Amino acid sequence: MAKHYNYAKLMEHNPTSYGKMTNSLGQEIEFFEHPTQGDMSFVICACHELEKAADSTFFETDDMEEVGGDYEPNFQDGKLFIGEFEA
């Protein structure tokens, strides 16, 4: 299971953004570098509208950026899913 972050505390650390995408559910997902572990940690996916953030289990964003792709990130019931599987 992916680590979920306290959204407000994470944003207080001003993490570096890798970019954004809008998934097929209309959620804008922003990809962040971990604020203290950098690229030694998984890419963090955050949805500002839902105030949710969690580790993606990926070290790069390439596979996750394809809308409708097998690795598209989305939040459902407060949990991060990568494609159809819970991260």
Contacts of 28 by beta carbon, 8 Å cutoff, 6+ apart = 20, 21, 22, 47, 48, 49
Beta bridge partners of 77: none
Structure tokens at 26: 């209309």
| Structure confidence by residue, pLDDT tens digits, 22-63 | 999 999 999 999 999 998 999 999 999 999 999 999 999 999
Q: Is residue 18 a contact partner of residue 61, using CB atoms and an 8 Å limit?
A: yes
Structure tokens at 27: 């959620």
| Structure confidence by residue, pLDDT tens digits, 2-13 | 899 999 999 999
Contacts of 73 by beta carbon, 8 Å cutoff, 6+ apart = 23, 29, 45, 56, 64, 80, 81, 82, 87
